[in-house]
Amino acid sequence: MHLRDPAHLVSPRAVVYWTVRAVPLWVLVLVGESIWLWSSGDHLALRVAALVVTVLLAAAHLIVMPRWRYRVHRWELTATAVYTQSGWLSQERRIAPISRVQTVDTERGPLEQLFRLANVTVTTASAAGPLRIHGLDRAIAEDLVAELTEVTSHSRGDAT
């Protein structure tokens, strides 16, 4: 017995978004190392090696992480439950019954607006269990929120 993946992938533009979002950190590290490299002369080989390793790590991270994430990040909404999967090295699947959903939010950061993406956050009465779907196409996110609002309005109870 195993748990199947949720049905839907997120937007392919999320790959570019995740890449762009990860760039600043690596740029910061590389700038720091470059300053260190030019500042003085001894242990030159060590410092060049560190720079080369950093560049390789950055390239690997920027190439692998977004594509891996894209294959992992998935979501599904059924008549009774919301099901999400996220992460890359560490992966997490979250399942919450529709009857326990309390709020549905969408949010778009400036970078996400640029890529016409949106996040959807579904919260339950537990502080431990918000379900987040990152990198959704904006139109799909809006449809999802409308659908969730529609479905949750039919379920009864105080969701605690």
Partner 1 sequence: MLLVHPVRELGQAIPALIGLVLAGRAVGDGQLWWLGPLGVVVVIALSVLRWMTTRYRITPEQVQLRTGLLQRKTIATPADRVRSVDVTASALHRVLGLAKVDIGTGSHDAGSGLSLDSLTVAEAAGLRAELLHRMAIASPDTPDTPGTLGAGELGAAPATEVADPAVRETELARMDPRWVRFAPFTMSGVLGAAAILGLGSRFLDQSGFSAAEVGPIRKGLDYLERTTVWLDLLLGLVALLALVTVLSIGGYVLSYWGFRLTRHPHGSLHITRGLLTTRATSIEERRLRGVELAEPLLLRAVHAARLGGITTGLTSKGAAGGGSSLLLPPAPGAVARDVATAILRDPAPVDVALTVHGPAARRRRFSRALLSALILVVAAGVAIWWGAPRWFAVPAVLVVPIAALLAADRYRSLGHAVAGGFLVTRAGSLERRRDVLECDGIIGWNVRQTFFQRRAGLATLTATTAAGRQRYAVTDVPLSLALPLADRALPGLLGEFLVP
Q: Which residues bind partner 1 (CB under 8 A)?
A: 1-4, 6, 76, 78, 80-81, 83, 89-97, 100, 124-129, 131, 159-160
Q: Which amino acid is at 13?
A: R
Nearer to partner 1 among residue 35 and residue 79 (C-beta): 79
| Minimum distance, C-beta of residue 69 to partner 1, in the bound complex (Å) | 14
Least distance CB 72 / partner 1 (angstroms): 11
Nearer to partner 1, 2 or 38 (CB): 2
Residue type, 38: W
| Nearer CB in complex with partner 1: 40/90 | 90
Are the C-beta atoms of residues 117 and 13 closer than 8 Å to each other? yes
**C-beta of 108: minimal distance to partner 1 in Å?**
25
Is 156 buried (19+), middle (13-18) or exposed (0-12) by CB count in 10 A? Answer: exposed
Task: State in angstroms the smallest separation of the CB of 130 from partner 1.
Answer: 9
Tokens 């105080």 map to which residue? 158
Least CB distance to partner 1 at residue 95 (A):
5
Q: How far is CA 129 from CA 25, 34, 60, 75, in A?
A: 29, 42, 32, 15
Compute the C-alpha angle 134/136/140, nearest 5°: 145
- Name which of 11 and 123 has its Cβ closer to partner 1: 123
Between residues 4 and 153, which has the closer beta carbon with respect to partner 1? 4
Nearest to 140 by CA among 160, 158, 117, 159: 117
